[in-house]
Structure 1
Amino acid sequence: MRDEIGQSPEEIFDVVDDHDCVVGSLSREAIHEQGLKHRAVHIFWLRADGLLCLQRRSYAKDKSPGLISTSCAGHLDSGETYLKAAVREFREEMGIAIMNEQLLEIDYVPAHCRLGNEFVRVYLLRGDFTCRLHKPEVDSVLWRTPR
């Protein structure tokens, strides 16, 4: 069960091998403590006026509190697909329900110890939506012109 900031040490994630194939599942806490490979998603949200949404993470987060990040990011729950996780995370963090078809996969980042041992699929979302931020999880958003 997730707490109010969208994380719980008891959350169960899939553990993956060097080829991003599931080899088991463990708690969020165990995966991070042991430095095991697992999965995550990131979304870049671009409005029609060309501005890019960046998120300031909640200061209560256990990883990178208060730092600027992509529009939305999160781990995959055990058994969840990358796309399903992206849709879920965007709804949880931004308060906006989107459809799979609205997301365009723009990158796939292999797991590396310097990047949290996460395989990451990166998506682009285009559109004008009204945010309803989940304040315990997201401190604020900033709109910037991509360079």
Structure 2
Amino acid sequence: MTDERLDLVNERDEVVGQVSRADPALRWRDVRVVNAFIRNSRGELWIPRRSPHKSLYPNALDVSVGGAVQSGESYLQAFARETAEEVGLNLEAVDWRELAAFSPYQTGLSSFMRVYEIRSDVTPAYNPQDFSGGEWLTPGQVLARIAAGEAAKGDLAELVRRCYGGQP
């Protein structure tokens, strides 16, 4: 396994160094991540369930695509890489847009992040190393499940609220 290097950023999202993802002292607010939702023409989001072998949030609901921005990568490069790795999609072949950019210092979210939306009515051919399944849910259904106690990756509910307003 290679040592995944991430850029350390300051409170203005400016690169100030590097850190190993495996470093136990890593603070996620000091690095960059990307997240994306796959949204169909009915307004439903494809919400996967994380694989049971994941060290963080095993078996939990997750964003459609997500991951750390590696050292030297742009947010867009990380989005393209993670989209190909996790759901087998090439950004040049799909309709997508940037939804938002967030700072952990202004929102309480875990990291500096860019959030994207991919428009597709096709259930993705997901990577089984990342996900064990997935389903199409409205933003309101996602929030209701989390409120009812279903396990979810840390920022999922807040991202759905911020990006979709908890639509039914």
TM-score using structure 1 length: 0.82
Q: How does 1:91-106 map to 2 (within 5 A)?
A: 91-99=84-92, 102-106=95-99
Alignment pair present for 1:144 and 2:137:
yes
Q: How far 1:71 moved relative to its partner?
A: 1.0
> Which has the larger helix fraction?
2
TM-score using structure 2 length: 0.73
Three-state SS of the structure 2 residue aligned to 1:86 is helix
RMSD: 2.2
Q: Do the aligned partners of residues 53 and 101 (structure 1) sit closer, same or farther apart at CA in structure 2, a change above 3 Å counting?
A: closer
Q: How far 1:100 moved relative to its partner?
A: 8.8
Task: Find the aligned partners of 1:120 and 1:67 in 2 and give their Cα distance.
Answer: 20
The size of the alignment, in residue pairs, is: 138
Three-state SS of the structure 1 residue aligned to 2:104 is coil
Q: How does 1:46-125 map to 2 (within 5 A)?
A: 46-99=39-92, 102-112=95-105, 115-116=109-110, 118-125=111-118
- Which consecutive unaligned segments of at least 5 residues does structure 2 have? 140-167
Letter in 2 for 1:57: R
- Quick one: which of 34, 51, 56 aligns to 1:41? 34
Three-state SS of the structure 1 residue aligned to 2:132 is strand
- Quick one: which of 122, 127, 132 aligns to 1:134? 127
Deviations 1:24-56 (CA, angstroms, capped at 9, x unpaired): 1111012x5232500001101111233210111
Three-state SS of the structure 2 residue aligned to 1:89 is helix
% identical equivalent positions: 33
- Which consecutive unaligned segments of at least 5 residues does structure 1 have? 3-9
> Which has the larger strand fraction?
1
